[in-house]
């Protein structure tokens, strides 16, 4: 089973390119915010990449360091490609860039209606991988704000619908 703790009511998949910076940060932060809101295990969050060059790789050490400074648990994450199983199980797929949405829609056309940008305003989350730690921090802080908002919305939708659809 890919999803932890059995069958949650809702499954969310975070996707970036290599699954080493943005999507692991988004996974850890959304889990953190959901836990703070008392979501328990009703919403499961995972992450994956569209072009994972090193499956099994741990997230970027700069990201892990920043998450640790924020008090956000980030252990156990490893880079993995977006798979048919992950896409099929996710009620919502949140991507960092429109390019990720296009790639996923091409590979998994049946999931197209469930794929959205993390930033509901339509802005893309910049890739900090080749930048310095200040750039990584700025991206993680942006993801923190975006996932905080999503946590509230997801919990409201889950409580409203009482089902696994968003």
Strand positions, DSSP E, the chain: 10-16, 43-49, 92-95, 115-117
Residue spans of beta strands (DSSP E) within 17-154: 43-49, 92-95, 115-117
Four-point Cα dihedral 144, 122, 88, 127, nearest 10: -60
Smallest CA-to-CA distance from 56 within 79, 33, 23 is with 79
Residues that are catalytic: 16, 22, 127
Q: Which two tokens stand for residue 116?
A: 């959205």
Q: What are the strands of the beta sheet with 92-95, ordered from one edge?
A: 43-49, 10-16, 92-95, 115-117
For residues 107 and 165, what is the distance between their CA atoms, to the nearest angstrom?
22
């Amino acid at each position: 089973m890919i999803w932890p703790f059995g069958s949650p009511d809702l499954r969310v998949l975070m996707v970036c390119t290599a699954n080493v910076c943005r999507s692991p940060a988004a996974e850890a932060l959304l889990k953190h915010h959901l836990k703070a809101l008392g979501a328990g295990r009703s919403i499961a969050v995972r992450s994956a990449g569209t072009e994972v060059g090193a499956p099994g790789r741990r997230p970027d050490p700069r990201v892990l360091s920043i998450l640790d400074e924020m008090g956000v648990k980030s252990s156990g994450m490893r880079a993995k490609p977006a798979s048919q199983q992950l896409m099929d199980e996710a009620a919502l797929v949140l991507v960092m860039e429109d390019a990720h949405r296009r790639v996923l829609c091409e590979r998994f056309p049946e999931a197209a209606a469930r794929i959205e940008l993390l930033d509901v305003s339509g802005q893309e989350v910049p890739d900090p991988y080749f930048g310095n730690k200040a750039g990584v921090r700025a991206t993680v802080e942006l993801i923190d704000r975006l996932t905080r908002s999503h946590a509230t919305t997801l919990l409201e939708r889950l409580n409203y619908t009482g089902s696994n659809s968003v």
